[in-house]
Amino acid sequence: MRDIQNQKDLREIDIQKAGVKGIKYPIVVLDRAHGTQHVNATINIYANLPHQFKGTHMSRFVEILNEFRGQINIKTFHTILQEIKDKLHAESAHMDIEFPYFIEKIAPVSGAKSLMEYRCFFSGQNNKGNSSDFLVGVVVPVTTVCPCSKEISEIGAHNQRSMVTVKVRFKKFFWIEDLIRLVEESASGEVYSLLKRVDEKYVTEKAHQNPMFVEDVVRNVAQQLNKNVNFLWYSVEAENFESIHNHSAYAYVEKNSKGSFT
């Protein structure tokens, strides 16, 4: 059979990323409390394609995933990228892994236990000359109470669920549990799966004593990240699903922002 992908290409256009996108795959990630956790991930894997080649051998990406089945995590990430470069004869390799991660939380007064889901992602690249890049991200639901509404109203204050997305570049291994914790402590209040009435009283009061704009949340998270020398870079965004509007309030802060955008 002819290998169409290996044919010459004359258009002289290098492709930065070619590969497979949106593969659903069960993986096993590291879990501080239990050693490991089985999760259902969505994965993208790409390699560069130099201008002289017509196509990438897409099936090889899936073969590499199968090889590492059961061992796809933060520690093996760069080995997988190296394998992609080798098997695809590529100069750069890129992988994104997105997955739900469950942590047991304890309700603040009753002590009732329940599982909370957090969306997490790893995104990394290995380039020519072996320079590499790696991001870890978490999406953490929290509660925010509006300081303006609280100040001006006789009773109550509007509040809502907010999603905080943090991405970090870092020096050495850390537990995503700690990053999630840092975010939860930076908002008006935490979100739980199970709260009894005594807990509901506690979280309501705590949040109202601790009102925060969406801008306050990203600044609090940034301030904590600034204190930790392990984090070389970060971006923090928060989105409030406003209870009095049908749109979101939003804030974004990035360490060492160059001000450009795509």
Q: Which is closer to its own copies, CB of 107 or CB of 179?
A: 107
Residue of 88, 125, 180, 184 that binds its own copies (CB under 8 A): 125
* Number of chain residues interacting with its own copies (CB under 8 A): 119
**Beta-bridge partners for 141:** 163
What is the per-residue binding string for its own copies in 70-89, x denoting contact by CB under 8 A? --------------------
**Residues in CB range of 252: below 8 A, 6 or more apart:** 218, 235, 236, 237
103 binds its own copies (CB under 8 A): no
21 binds its own copies (CB under 8 A): yes
Shortest spacing between CB 181 and its own copies, in angstroms: 16
Among residues 152, 159, 155, the alpha carbon closest in space to that of 217 is found at 159
Within 129-188, which residues bind its own copies (CB under 8 A)? 133, 135, 141, 143, 145-161, 167
Phi, psi of 120 (to 5 degrees): -130, 155
Structure-derived torsion over alpha carbons of residues 3, 5, 10, 11, reported in degrees to the nearest 10: 160
Within 229-258, which residues bind its own copies (CB under 8 A)? 235, 239, 241-254, 257
Query: Stretches 1-9, 72-80, 82-90, 174-182: which one binds its own copies (CB under 8 A)?
Result: 1-9
- Determine which helix (DSSP H) or strand (DSSP E) holds 221, and give its type and residue range: helix 214-226
68 binds its own copies (CB under 8 A): no
**159, 188 Cβ separation under 8 angstroms:** yes
